[in-house]
Amino acid sequence: MLNKSSSKKSVSTTELKEIFATGLKLCIFMSVICVMLFFVNSITAEKIAEFESKKINDAIITIMGDDPNMTIEPLEDLGDSSVKEVYKIDSMVDEQSQLIGYCVYAKAKGYGGEFNLLVGLNADGTVKGISVISDSETVGIGKKVLTDSFLSKFNGKSEGVTLGSGDIVAVSGATVTSKAVTSCVNSVLDFYESTLKEADTDENNG
């Protein structure tokens, strides 16, 4: 009887030791992998952030023109659900800053997921140009929409744009993406009407 109880006790301690050892090994694996990921992250994180901001900068220059006197000023706290960032574009001429327009970095939901557009607006709120920042659309379907030939059709628009009216016809076979681009441009134009225009007139009046 004594033997049985003592062997039972020793079984449970060896079991406990085993569980502890297994758990410890698992934690060691986890920590090693996490350290490795931490290193890779520290090398790549900067590059990733850099890349996106460079793309936005390049797109702003492409749309608004390469003016050496141009200043790009990010506006804070103005974004709503679809607008990620807003940039105010001024030109410094004779120490007087003149508003050239705005660039709105907005997102839309396409067929393959989210895509990001940079919509350039003139000072009067009409569309100056659109640039694609990133997308996951399918080659041959969604990607055909995200090309200059379709996007340039929005130039000069200032109010609610609808597909099928005038010359903006959805790209055949890519209705979802075409609609997504249209609604994105519309929300940017609405955003201008509701937020940027007022801020602009306030500045001029104040």
Partner 1 sequence: MGTIISICFAAILTENFVLSKFMGICAFLGVSKKTDTSIGMGMAVTFVMTISTLVTWLINRYILVPFDFVYLRTIVFILVIACLVQLIEMFLRKCVPSLYKALGIYLPLITTNCAVLGVTILMADSDYTNILYPVIYAFAAGLGFTLAIVLFSGIREKLKFCDIPKPFRGFPIALIAAALLAMAFSGFQGLNLPF
Partner 2 sequence: MKTTVKKNKVSLIGVLLDGIVFKNPVLIQLLGMCPILATSTSLENAFGMGVAVTFVLFFSNIIISLLRKIIPEKIRIAAYIIIIAGFVSVIDMILKAYLPSLSSSLGVFIPLIVVNCIIFARAESFASKNGVIPSAVDGIACGIGFTIALSIVSAIREILGNGTILGFHIFGESFQPATMMLLPFGGFLTLGFVIALVQFVTDKIGKGGNK
CB of 20 to partner 2, least distance (A): 12
At position 18, the amino acid (one-letter code) is E
| Torsional sign, CA 191, 193, 196, 202 | negative
Residue 81 found at the interface with partner 1 (CB under 8 A) = yes
DSSP secondary-structure letter at 111?
S
* Per-position DSSP letters for 42-59, written without gaps between them: HHHHHHHHHHHHHHHHHH
The rounded Cα 166 to chain-centroid distance in angstroms is 30
Contacted by 29, from partner 1, partner 2, none: CB < 5 to 8 Å by type? partner 2
Residue 21 found at the interface with partner 1 (CB under 8 A) = no
Complex with partner 2: residue 74 or 113, whichever CB lies closer? 113
Enumerate binding residues for partner 2 (CB under 8 A).
21-22, 25-26, 29-30, 33, 36-37, 40-41, 43-45, 47-48, 51, 112-113, 134-136, 138-141, 173
- What does residue 161 show for φ and ψ, rounded to 5 degrees? -95, 135
| Torsional sign, CA 48, 54, 55, 57 | positive
Complex with partner 1: residue 45 or 93, whichever CB lies closer? 45
Contacted by 175, from partner 1, partner 2, none: CB < 5 to 8 Å by type? partner 1
Residues near partner 1, by CB under 8 A: 30, 33-34, 37-38, 40-41, 45, 81, 114, 175-176
